[in-house]
Structure formats: C-alpha cells, structure tokens
Amino acid sequence: MDLSAARSAYREDGVVYLPKTFDVQALSAALGAYDWSLSHPGPLATKFAQSTDATFYNDLYNPGCTAAYKSMLETSPLPQLLTEIWGTPDVWFMYEQVFLKEGGESRRTPWHQDSSYLTIAGNDLAVAWITFDPVSKPDSLEFVRGSHRGPLYNGSRFELGDDTAPLHPQSDMQRLPDIEAQRAKWDIISFAVDPGDLVLFHPAALHGGAPTHRGTRRRTLTLRFFGHDAYYDQRPGPAGPRVSGLHSRMKQGDPFRDPSFLKLLPRAD
C-alpha cells in the first residue's frame, strides 16, 4: 500500500480506495460486528421507503454499539491506517452505521453529505466503508471528487420521489443539487470493491449508492472516526442521540472531544 499516495488522494479527492486492507481475521471481526447490529436493532433502525418489494435496511447510533464493537475496533487495522492518512496520532470512534439491501431492485442511496447531519467538522474525519459482498464498479458507492472542500448542502430527507428534498427546509443551507439528473456535469468516481477492501472517505464528500438488483445482496458496515483536527460545528435541527448531548457542553469551534467516545490506539505490529 502506497500510504503517501493514499494520503494525497484523501486530501485532494476526499476519498481513497485501499484494496486488501483487512485480512481474514479482521474481516471476520468486522462481519461479527455487523451481524451483532442486525441481531440487536437500535432505536433508529429503519427500512427506507421503496417503490418495489426490495429491502433497504439501515441502523445507526445503537447505544450498545461501543461495547459490542470495542474488541473489533481495538484489533482493527483502521486506527493505524487513519494515523497515517491524517498524519496525527489520535483516533476516536464516533459511531457505526449498517446497511442491508436485498430482495429486489432497491432504490439508490440518494446523493448527500454525512457532514450535513453531524455537528463536527475538520480535516481529521473519516468514514470507513466496508462491504461483505463483492460490488462491481457500476453498483458501488459513488463520490463527487473534491466535494469535501465545499459547499456543505442541506441534508436529504431520503424522500421517495425527491432525493433532494431538504432535511431542514427553513435553513439557509443550499439545497442539494440533482446530481443524478446531471451526472455529466459532475466528476463522479467509484470503485469495484471486494470483501477485505476499504473505501475511506471524508464525511463532507458528496456520495450516493447505486441500487441493488434482484437476486443480489449488499451488506455494508460504515465506521465513523475523528481525530485531532475535529471541532464542534453547529447544524440546524437535532444531531442524533450519540452527539446531541454535546450541544450543552460545546460552542462553535471547540475541539470535538468527549469521554463517551472510544479512543483507539494504533496496533503495535
């Protein structure tokens, strides 16, 4: 792995593809965490509305996740990798998100930026996207290259029939552009990904997921992390139960820190 090239790609593009990041043991541990989440739905577990009989399941911010994921995270290659990508020694686990698409022609994951939903900003932020099923390039997660540098758009409500419907209609944040209707105008990139590979992206990067097809399944686990250069950045509306309690303890620009987040140490190989 060329870490220098990976660091440059992450800074410039907001996303980098890192093949064979997970060995068999690390991938098995990640799958065990994913299966735990499916077996222990949290209060925010939901199935997105579909126009077909497909399943599009999502869960995140499970209050039991940190304890259930702790062993996997501490033995994962991710903390060491993130220190190399960011160039700083501190890595904290923020929260998990699991996805399951199967059973038929599922809808796309609408174009959006994770940062639109999170009261955090900075350079040392990352989303680790892990798939447990082979995904071809046309069916993979897609990104607008360099979009992590702004602007930050209003979040999508994931409304069936209008992917750009704003999460906060009264906010002065710009409405999401209809990227899917004007794909040629955007620098869209994606990667064919096999189990064991990693796609690492900044949460401010515009991204969206291709639909799945009848007879296929896509199981993905995303893990969100922050590091030294991460600060509190107010957003309109609630920020989710995992971080909403920080509103009373932080003001704009404060370093994003709280004892409730698991700090991870790079592995001593």
pLDDT in tens, 37-77: 999 999 999 987 766 677 889 999 999 999 999 999 999 99
- How far is 232 from 171, CA to CA, in rounded Å? 18
In a domain, 167, yes or no: yes
> Which whole number is the average pLDDT over 13-29?
98
Let me know if residue 257 belongs to a domain.
no
CATH of the domain at 17: 2.60.120.620
CA distance 209 to 112: 10
Domains identified in the chain, total number:
1
Q: Does some domain include residue 48?
A: yes
* β-strand partners of 134: none
Quick one: pLDDT band at residue 112, thresholds 50, 70, 90?
A: very high
In a domain, 197, yes or no: yes
Residue type, 137: K
Q: Give helix 3-13 / helix 78-86 axis angle, nearest 10°.
A: 70
pLDDT tens-digit readout, 68-103: 999 999 999 999 999 999 999 999 999 999 999 887
Which contacts qualify for 171-177: CB closer than 8 Å, 24 or more apart?
A: 171/236, 171/237, 173/116, 173/236, 176/110, 176/111, 176/112, 177/153
Please, which pLDDT band fits residue 179 given cuts at 50, 70 and 90?
A: very high
Whole-model pTM over 0.95: no
**Domain carrying residue 131:** 3-229
Query: Which uninterrupted H or E stretch holds 4?
Result: helix 3-13
Q: Does some domain include residue 126?
A: yes
> Which value, to the nearest 10 degrees, does the dihedral of the CA atoms of residues 41, 111, 138, 127 take?
-60
Name the one residue in this structure whose structure tokens are 């209008």: 162
Residues in the chain: 269
Lowest mean pLDDT among 86-95, 143-152, 214-223: 214-223
Q: Considering the domain boundaries, does residue 116 fall inside one?
A: yes
51 vs 43: CA distance, rounded Å: 24
158 compared with 153, residue with greater pLDDT: 153
